[in-house]
Amino acid sequence: MLNQKAGMGFIIAPLVIKRLLYLILITSSAFIIQDYLGSSQKYWLVWSACILGLITHGDSFKRRITVILVAGLIAAFSAFLSACLAFYPFILAVFLFMLTISCVAVSLRYSEYFFVAFVINLFAIMSGELPAPVLIIANRFLIITFGMGIALFFQVLFYPYFVRNELQSFVVITLRNLKKVNEEIFSCFIDAEYPDNIYLYERRLHLQKNRYMQSIRRLREIISLASRKMDESESGYYAFLLGRLDLLYDNMLDYSQLRRRVTDHATFSVCLQELSAVSNEIGRVIEGMMMRVMNRNYHLDTDALVRHIKRLEENYTNVLQVAAREPLVFLLFINSLKCFCNAIDAYLKRVLPEASSYS
Amino acid sequence: MLIRNYFKSFYLRQALSVGLTVFVSVIVNSQYSYSGEYWVVLSAFMVSQTTRGTPVRQGMIFFLIMIAAIIVSAFLMTSVEQNQAVYLLLAILFVISSYLAFLDRPQANKTFFLMVYFSIIMLIATLSPIHSGQYMQNRVFDALIGAVIGIMGGMIIFPARINEEFTKGIIPILNALNSYSQVMKDSIQGVGRLDEGIIRKKLEVENTLQTQHGMYPEWVYETGFNRGVRAGLRFFLVNLERITEVLFSMEYILYQDADPLIFQALSDEIANVMSKNQELLGMLIDYFQYNRLTDAKSDFTSDIAELEKSMQRIMPTSLELLEISPARTLITAFVRDLRDLRGLILQLVMALQAPVQNQKT
């Protein structure tokens, strides 16, 4: 239930709604306008508006506009050039060869520009194989730039409050990824197939850790961008939040060591219920943090988590100390879970309602 | 020599490979295209946009999605009479796929990425001006020719050198882990406070682990990767990840309320163990960077035993006592992490093979 609420809350968050509206408007405008255009090249309007509209690189207004403008103009120009060479296949081949080398090298070296380089290459390739008289080609150039103009217009329209909306979104995304890291860690304890499929589980865990690290990296960038407009208390709150997220992640990696230390996986079968309960409760607590970030009035505490950890501890005292080959590793695990609980409590004490007042 | 060094660069090799593939496909398209459009070149170009691990498999996936888009587009054009209805369906598909990819930020799931790719090809296929005759079959044949050129190009023209690429991807991680471990050791030997340098080094480690921002050889994990080397390379990566986890865990423990006096009392032994760990990491770096297997000079077991004995001497580590003292449990956890770290690094070092020497006859 809480998972659905958190999910719905995320989907109707301002930035996500803005993105949906943006996509709908840019696509519908492109299709409607091209229907009224009398030109034989009108389909380029839809291609350029829709595809260039997917560019989201650049956090500042100036940077975003510059990237789309430069991408659009280079794409239009290279489409123009390759169409001019369309009647000379060998020269066209040489031109596309050089353009492709440049675009691929740029996209490999600077992966954030992959899509921009891809669009430029794509337009040049398509245009080169659609030969036409020079006037038609010039028309094609203008229509591509017109499509770029549509993308730019809607980017400008939807840009206000971008940093604020992105900030809230990325806190939620980072927490969501943190929750999934926890799920993958506990699946290594709970699933009986883990010892026979270690690589598969480690791969999934690696992918989820990677997604978490990307989201926290992006969150740091946005907080750094947003801090110029924040007052001291908000700045302090987000610095605290970043530190807390780092701590929670490292804490998870600490208790994830149990999967390596327990040599006989069957040991987990005696505490399966307790482990599942702890895993679900940690997930619920992180979802609660997401709800708080989305400014929902949601009461969040760690009482249930503490109870489940206590039950696990009782199981350790009564069963695992005898059943486990190395009970110490379970003690270290339980201690780590308690520290996780304390870290959440410290966060809850610090959460400020004015996180919503930033604009 | 300089030119040979340039050709060792993966970026240049890959760029040349895709460039030459596009060059060949343009020539072939001008002579043998069935549809008279760009599908040979487009297919060759798309199929070449693959990672190092499984270029053939990924190329086939891109090709099949392109075929699916062409067929669906043709079906749409023949069954829906009104252009506006076609535009509406295209717009809905495009918006939904882009929106789902956006929701899955920062790195969209492969499924969503392929959906966006499918919708872009649909836009291209449906709105393209040429729809005369048997255009669907012609486009499919052209796409097939392009896919063959693209896949053959990837296999023949500057193919990925798996071992070299893996080595290049591993070295930054090993160096980052070594620096991170060094800074942590310096911090422990200092006054027990965490140095800001640790945070910086940790960020470096995180960056090297991300494919988008480094050379991390994630392609080793891909389904269908070279069976001959798969097991060995995956074993290495999995253990390297575990080493990273243990180091992050150690840093986490340093942030907690462990007994500082006990930490200080053990700092020399801890530093000794960490130095030996760094020596082992140095061996790994030497092997991958300079292709030489350094002989181990130190004994790699007695220092751990010494640390554990010192810990027992200072604070008894019976389970009953640890249960009532979380601060001491943290120190036990830290020492355990150090032991685990030694075990993991030794596993990697033991797995190294002696470099093959070139023999002159």
A232-243 tens-digit pLDDT: 888 888 899 999
Query: Considering only alpha carbons, which residue of chain A is nearest residue B221?
Result: A203
| B2: pLDDT strictly greater than 60 | no
Report the pLDDT value the prediction gives residue A358, as an integer from 0 to 100. 35
Q: Among A30-44, B161-175, B319-333, which is the least confidently predicted range?
A: B319-333
Query: Considering only alpha carbons, which residue of chain A is nearest residue B323?
Result: A331
Contact at CB, A23 and B99, closer than 8 angstroms: yes
Report the pLDDT value the prediction gives residue A246, as an integer from 0 to 100. 92
Distance between A202 CA and the closest CA of chain B, angstroms: 7
Highest mean pLDDT among A91-105, B146-160, B216-230: A91-105
- When the pLDDT of each residue in chain B is averaged and rounded to a whole number, the result is 85
Give the C-alpha separation, B238 to B292, whole Å. 23
For tokens 């990925």, what's the residue?
A: B160
Report the pLDDT value the prediction gives residue B104, as an integer from 0 to 100. 79
Find chain B residues with C-beta within 8 A of A102's C-beta. Answer: 15
Band of pLDDT at residue A9, cut at 50, 70 and 90:
low
Contact at CB, B16 and A203, closer than 8 angstroms: no
Contact at CB, B340 and A19, closer than 8 angstroms: no
Contact at CB, B87 and A206, closer than 8 angstroms: no
Report the pLDDT value the prediction gives residue A10, as an integer from 0 to 100. 57
Q: Which region, left, alpha or beta, applies to residue A346 given φ > 0 means left and ψ of -120 to 50 means alpha?
A: alpha
Band of pLDDT at residue A136, cut at 50, 70 and 90:
very high
Contact at CB, A251 and B329, closer than 8 angstroms: no
* Average pLDDT for B219-239: 85
Please name the member of B14, B45, B128 whose beta carbon is closest to the beta carbon of A125: B45
Contact at CB, A215 and B106, closer than 8 angstroms: yes
Domain boundaries, chain B: 2-156, 162-351
| B358: pLDDT strictly greater than 50 | no
* Average pLDDT for A56-62: 79
Report the pLDDT value the prediction gives residue A5, as an integer from 0 to 100. 56
H helix and E strand count, chain A = 15, 0
Report the pLDDT value the prediction gives residue B361, as an integer from 0 to 100. 36
Report the pLDDT value the prediction gives residue A108, as an integer from 0 to 100. 86
Find chain B residues with C-beta within 8 A of A98's C-beta. Answer: 19
- Which residues, in sequence order, are CB contacts of B179 under 8 Å at separation 6+? B201, B204
- When the pLDDT of each residue in chain A is averaged and rounded to a whole number, the result is 88
Find chain A residues with C-beta within 8 A of B105's C-beta. Answer: 169, 173, 215, 218
| A305: pLDDT strictly greater than 90 | yes
| B193: pLDDT strictly greater than 90 | no
Please name the member of B207, B238, B242 whose beta carbon is closest to the beta carbon of A199: B238
Find chain A residues with C-beta within 8 A of B38's C-beta. Answer: 125-126, 128-130
Band of pLDDT at residue B120, cut at 50, 70 and 90:
very high
Report the pLDDT value the prediction gives residue A350, as an integer from 0 to 100. 81
Contact at CB, A260 and B340, closer than 8 angstroms: yes
Residue type at position B36: G
Distance between B360 CA and the closest CA of chain A, angstroms: 37
| A354: pLDDT strictly greater than 60 | no
* pTM for this predicted structure: 0.86
Q: Which CA distances in Å does A307 have to A251, A282, A301, B304? A: 19, 12, 12, 37
| B170: pLDDT strictly greater than 80 | yes
Distance between B61 CA and the closest CA of chain A, angstroms: 18
pLDDT in tens, B264-312: 888 888 999 999 999 999 999 999 888 888 776 677 888 898 888 888 8
Q: Would you call B317 helix, strand, or coil by DSSP?
A: coil
Task: Please give the structure tokens belonging to residue B299.
Answer: 């004994």
Looking at per-residue pLDDT, the higher value among B215 and B119 belongs to B119
Residue type at position B65: I
Find chain B residues with C-beta within 8 A of A331's C-beta. Answer: 319, 322-323, 329
Write phi, then psi, for B259 (nearest 5 degrees).
Answer: -65, 110
Contact at CB, B329 and A257, closer than 8 angstroms: no
Contact at CB, A104 and B102, closer than 8 angstroms: no
| A222: pLDDT strictly greater than 70 | yes
Band of pLDDT at residue A357, cut at 50, 70 and 90:
very low
Contact at CB, A121 and B45, closer than 8 angstroms: yes
Band of pLDDT at residue B44, cut at 50, 70 and 90:
very high
Query: Considering only alpha carbons, which residue of chain B is nearest residue A92?
Result: B26
Contact at CB, B248 and A214, closer than 8 angstroms: no
Looking at per-residue pLDDT, the higher value among B107 and B25 belongs to B25
Report the pLDDT value the prediction gives residue A180, as an integer from 0 to 100. 95
Kindly calculate the radius of gyration of chain B based on its CA atoms and give it in whole angstroms.
Answer: 28
Find chain A residues with C-beta within 8 A of B73's C-beta. Answer: none
The secondary structure of A63-77 as a DSSP string is HHHHHHHHHHHHHHH
Find chain B residues with C-beta within 8 A of A247's C-beta. Answer: 252, 255
Inter-axis angle of helices A232-255 and B227-255, nearest 10: 120
Find chain B residues with C-beta within 8 A of A31's C-beta. Answer: 87, 90-91
Find chain A residues with C-beta within 8 A of B253's C-beta. Answer: 254
What is the distance of C-alpha A38 from the center of its chain? Answer: 41
Contact at CB, B245 and A256, closer than 8 angstroms: yes
Report the pLDDT value the prediction gives residue A2, as an integer from 0 to 100. 54
| B172: pLDDT strictly greater than 80 | yes
pLDDT in tens, B322-357: 777 878 888 899 999 999 999 999 999 988 876 554
Contact A154, A53 (CB under 8 A): yes
Distance between A253 CA and the closest CA of chain B, angstroms: 6
Find chain B residues with C-beta within 8 A of A56's C-beta. Answer: 102
Report the pLDDT value the prediction gives residue A353, as an integer from 0 to 100. 46
Report the pLDDT value the prediction gives residue B360, as an integer from 0 to 100. 38
Please name the member of B38, B249, B253 whose beta carbon is closest to the beta carbon of A129: B38
Contact at CB, A211 and B106, closer than 8 angstroms: yes
Report the pLDDT value the prediction gives residue A359, as an integer from 0 to 100. 32
The secondary structure of B36-86 as a DSSP string is SSSHHHHHHHHHT---SS-HHHHHHHHHHHHHHHHHHHHHHHHH---HHHH
Q: What ipTM was estimated for this complex?
A: 0.85
